[in-house]
Amino acid sequence: MHRRAFTLIEIMVAVAIIAVLSAMMLPSLMGSRDKATLRSETQRLYDTARYVQRMAVVKQRTLRLVMLPEDPEHDGRSSYHLELATTDLDEPETYSRVEGGAVKPVVLPEGVKLLDVLRDVGEFEVFTGEIALSFYADGSADGAVIHIGDEQSVRSIIIEPMTGRIESVPERVETMPSLREDLDA
């Protein structure tokens, strides 16, 4: 009995179909990786903000999260680091950069940027340069909405001023949710 084998043409057609399907899938796989990187970096910034808030309460000192959307020390990539108040609560504040410890300075990977920060200074103002958000010994913080993103999507980290509540949202948020909205929800 003769077994029928595949011809060379049939094998070439199958390889061509696999190549075309792979070429079509590659961009979507790359997009998934970029989304995962953005999600991961947003989570890391969120975790850092929560850590800074807790440490301000524990140490009974003001801590600042200093963000640089375009850090010249890192070829224009975004970065952030911590600073600790080196004076007592009733004195004018001076800060020193925190080196080492649980939270080290962070440089965001290529393609992910700190886009801007909406800061609650009576009304919202957009900051695109270096900005420092303070976290206080009573658990409160400077109100802000931090936008972090890549070329395709933007995520937001919301820091409420009075309560110090920190929230991560998978979209661009342009206003601070009011306390009344939170109570109604």
pLDDT digits (tens, 9 = 90+) for 33-71: 778 899 999 999 999 999 999 999 999 999 999 999 999
Query: What is d(CA 88, CA 38) in angstroms, rounded to the nearest whole number?
Result: 38
Report DSSP state, residue 116. E
Please tell me the predicted confidence (pLDDT) of residue 183: 40
Query: What is d(CA 95, CA 135) in angstroms, rounded to the nearest whole number?
Result: 13
Number of structural domains in the chain: 1
- Whether 102 is in a domain gets the answer yes
- What digits encode the pLDDT tens for the residues 81-96? 999 988 766 677 788 8
- Whether 175 is in a domain gets the answer no
Compute the average pLDDT of residues 125-130. 80
Coil, strand or helix at 60: coil
Enumerate the H helices of the chain as residue ranges. Answer: 8-59, 179-184
Sign of CA dihedral 95, 99, 104, 107: positive
The boundaries of the domain holding residue 77 are 32-169
- Whether 15 is in a domain gets the answer no
Beta bridge partners of 154: 149
Range among 20-24, 36-40, 176-180 rated most confident: 36-40
- Whether 145 is in a domain gets the answer yes
- Whether 132 is in a domain gets the answer yes
Average pLDDT, the chain: 85
- Over 60: is that where the pLDDT of 145 sits? yes
- Over 90: is that where the pLDDT of 152 sits? no
Query: What is d(CA 138, CA 54) in angstroms, rounded to the nearest whole number?
Result: 10
- Whether 180 is in a domain gets the answer no
**pTM, entire model:** 0.76
Please tell me the predicted confidence (pLDDT) of residue 30: 57
CATH number at residue 110: 3.55.40.10
- Over 80: is that where the pLDDT of 1 sits? no
Query: What is d(CA 4, CA 68) in angstroms, rounded to the nearest whole number?
Result: 67
